[in-house]
Chains A and B, each alone.
Chain A
Amino acid sequence: MIRVVLPAHLKALARVSGEVALDVPPPATVGGVLDALEGALPVLAGRIRDYGGGPRRAYVRFYACQQDLSHEPYDTRLPNQVADGTEPLLIVGAMSGG
């Protein structure tokens, strides 16, 4: 299982608490996790990236294992520690004003 940490707004919207655990077909990629996440929680479609698997929204970032994966292509493989569930993928709202 892959672990995903959502920002507070999206936890509230999806009505989840804590992490989200997802079955993602190997090899685990950023795009594969987002596909699985939107499949499990359809209300998140369009919130992290544009509808239909489009580009990441401007004020959303992806971190894992102290790496910034935000600018990697969706088919980029996730670190092994994320793929095996040791570490979570962090979906983060940019710390901007508002």
Chain B
Amino acid sequence: MPGVRLLVGTHKGAFVLTSDEARRDWQVSDPLFPGNEAYHVAGSPADPNRLYAAPSTSWFGQVLQRSDDGGASWTPVGSEFAYEGETGTHLWYDGTPRPWAFTRVWHLEPSPTDPDTVYAGVEDAALFRSTDGGHSWAELPALRTHPTAGDWAPGAGGMCLHTIVLDPRDENRIFVAISAAGAFRSDDGAKSWKPINQGLRSEGIPDPAAEVGHCVHRIAMHPSRPDTLFMQKHWDVMRSDDAGEHWREVSGNLPSDFGFPIAVHAHEPETIYVVPIESDSYHYPPEGKLRVYRSRTGGDEWEPLTTGLPQQDCYVNVLRDAMAVDGLDSCGIYVGTTGGQVYGSADGGDTWNAIARDLPAVLSVEAQTLP
């Protein structure tokens, strides 16, 4: 029966939320990996029952987990993320050099075609890949050894590679984003990388238009238009129509252009969503109102979506991986909050309902559309 499975990573475990295609009634699983910070849980587009999860604790580190049955059971797989060769230094918050050290996986990006191939973006920033279902991981080191890497510095959450976007036309084209280095593109299967930050402007770095140093929060792409990218930067919502060669700001009439996630409608490549946040100091929505903003024009013109979302006394955040869309005919959209709520809309954002209200702080939401 068609339906939707949400993979929700939280500060203290992960949860699987399931519904039929009506998306009115949801079942919430027991906690998975209880007590662990589950930064991300992702499913394979090639086999929706193949899931990968990245739970960790500061005490005992990263333990990658895999499910072959849609999340009913899980098995620890490989968690040795060893940088290849000599690790140089990047910059620390105070501008002093600091050796690269692995902390955790921030983002898992399964291959669109092979359930055993999955990319992992990690802190300190590097890209890893497994081609054996997560049992072993090899770094794709050309990114971490890019000539600019010695000048990369961490964002507030750490120096993390948090965004991996795979081009569905061309398996050799990969986009990544790193806080706070910026966006990079490879056209040769991660053998070489090009910074793609032209048009970004960031106050708070010595050269606001520098080649690297931008705190990119998230990049989204519609699979039918892989040269068009949408970006939520620390401040500013941006778009590129030439695979990141040039960016232009499309913040338009947003009440704030600070935020974390950005998503594209499943069937309308010019319909995009963001969640404006008051500022980098406050990390909660303007006016205490949780509003998802939708643009049907690929940016510049935005409308608030409020029906069913809290419109007073709301001071939660929505983190970069905590917004997702499903692929049903009437596109569903989901946001998870640091207050433990998961809100869902089955009509492209017109109306919302709380799917879960009392989870731990939500770190990530992925939506799987089940056949």
Interface residues of A (CB under 8 A from B): 7-10, 12-13, 43, 46-48, 51, 57, 59-60, 93-94, 96, 98
Cα(A96)–Cα(B59), bound, Å: 9
Let me know if B58 and A98 touch, CB within 8 A.
yes
Q: Secondary structure at chain B's binding surface: helix, strand, loop or mixed?
A: loop
Chain B positions 149-164 with a Cβ under 8 Å from a chain A Cβ: none
Let me know if B59 and A13 touch, CB within 8 A.
no
Interchain residue pairs A-B with the least CB separation, the first 7 = A93-B59, A59-B59, A47-B60, A43-B76, A51-B80, A98-B58, A9-B60
Interface residues of B (CB under 8 A from A): 34-36, 57-61, 63, 76, 79-80, 82
Let me know if A46 and B59 touch, CB within 8 A.
no
Let me know if B63 and A13 touch, CB within 8 A.
yes
Residue of B nearest to A98 (CB): B58
Let me know if A48 and B58 touch, CB within 8 A.
no
Shortest CB–CB separation between residue B234 and chain A, in angstroms?
A: 26
Q: Please indicate the chain A residues that have their CB under 8 angstroms from the CB of B36 in the complex.
A: 9
Cα(A10)–Cα(B76), bound, Å: 12
Which of B60, B79, B80, B82 makes the CB contact (< 8 A) with A10?
Answer: B60
Q: From known contacts A13-B76, A51-B82, infer whether A57 and B63 are also in contact, taking CB-CB under 8 Å.
A: no
Which of B61, B79, B82: most chain A Cβ within 10 A? B61
What would 17 A/B residue contacts be, using CB atoms closer than 8 Å? A7-B59, A8-B35, A9-B35, A9-B57, A10-B60, A43-B63, A46-B61, A46-B79, A47-B63, A48-B60, A51-B80, A57-B60, A59-B58, A59-B59, A93-B59, A93-B60, A96-B58
